[in-house]
Amino acid sequence: MKFVLIILLLCIAILLFYLLKSKQVNILITIVLTSFIIYFILNPTLCIESSIKGAKLFFNSLFPSLFPFLVMTNILVAYDGVSIYAKLLGPIICKPLGLPKESSFALIVSLLCGYPLGAKYSCELYDSGSITPSQFSKLVNVASNSSPLFLVGAVGTSMLGSTKSGYLLLFSNYLSCIIIALILSSSNNNIMTNLKITKETRIYNFGTVLKESIENALKTTLSIGSYVVLFSVILSIIKNNAIYNIVLDKLYIISFLPKETLNGIFLGFIEVTNGCYILSQSSINYALKLSFISFLCAFSGLAIMAQVHSFTYKYEEISIIRYFLRKVLQGLISFCITFTTTLFIGEKILCTSSQIMPRVINYKNYIPVLLLVFISLISYISKKLFNVS
């Protein structure tokens, strides 16, 4: 039976390679979606249960933390608060990162609201002529972060049951983003401003601002919830696939990590919220659990990358493959920062008293390997991949 599955897997891989090589993406998408539809029809109970699980994850973890924050952020933007922050903090934030002060708007929005708004405003800055192509390529990667409320509220407090862990994730993700900004080189640091960003100044009464902010926040959170529910179903299909489980078994033998941890890592590559939730429920050592979650949050997942690509696809300066590789590197840096910090401050400080400490693993043995991977990736990728022209 396993031999038949391996043969089937090879045939599928050859078919996918042929379709991608011949650029027949429409046929590939049709085949994949048809397979999903057939699976829905044959397994309606599983699909409904996974949809309900995704909806519960959204309403219990994401919606309570994101919705109020987005409302307040929208009010802040409506009253031009972000521009005020940009004028005050722009030189302080942008100069150390090697970016023009005009990019402070996109950076601050990214810090406040998270994916994918940083990419959206980066595109608007480039369209206005306020930043050069090399600066645009750099800014899209730097202005890509998880929001504070997702890291501290949804992941730290709701999933892990530890607000302190959420703050550590916030620290690791933002520090890794700063390191990426320092690694990336810009071929021209002079600002080539063709046009000035002009914003229409409109005076709102607070009632109008509040109404529009709530509507916008509700639209945004429901959009995020739709992604979570949809990918919950897709991930459920993947988890119950025989080929996927065979591959997972082989990797379990090689890596010595629990299957549920491997499951959370691989599924988190596709959709970060579900991946973080699976990892938060795993029985792995807390330091490794937190570090893997930190990697996923910094990496962001393919679902969020698709949202970013929806803004950047029309620009030749932005390569989604290069963006993907840079996010992988940022995830690895965030993993190392979280792991090292957890070793330094101790796990008991991060865990609440009500949490049961997982089984102990001698994870100090991982330090030489982590350092080797970290140094190798930094030296190689900075030379080969980050030459922006």
Alpha-carbon Rg for the chain, nearest whole angstrom, is: 22
Q: Where do the structural domains in the chain lie, given as residue ranges?
A: 64-186+282-351+377-384
**Which of the pair, 133 or 352, is modelled with greater confidence?**
133
**Which of the pair, 61 or 186, is modelled with greater confidence?**
61
- How confident is the model over 66-88, as a mean pLDDT? 76
* Burial of 22 (C-beta count, 10 Å sphere; 0-12/13-18/19+): exposed
Check pLDDT > 60 for residue 207: yes
- How high is the pLDDT of residue 293? 93
- How confident is the model over 225-242, as a mean pLDDT? 79
Check pLDDT > 80 for residue 14: no
Write down the pTM of the prediction: 0.72
* DSSP result, 41-103: HH-HHHHHHHHHHHHHHIIIIIHHHHHHHHHHHHHHHHTTHHHHHHHHHHHHHHHHHT--GGG
- Residue 22 pLDDT class (50, 70, 90 cuts): low
Check pLDDT > 50 for residue 88: yes
- How high is the pLDDT of residue 296? 93
- How high is the pLDDT of residue 25? 62
- How high is the pLDDT of residue 389? 38
Lowest mean pLDDT among 171-175, 210-214, 258-262, 346-350: 346-350
Check pLDDT > 50 for residue 85: yes
**Which of the pair, 3 or 90, is modelled with greater confidence?**
90
* First-residue to last-residue Cα distance in the chain: 51
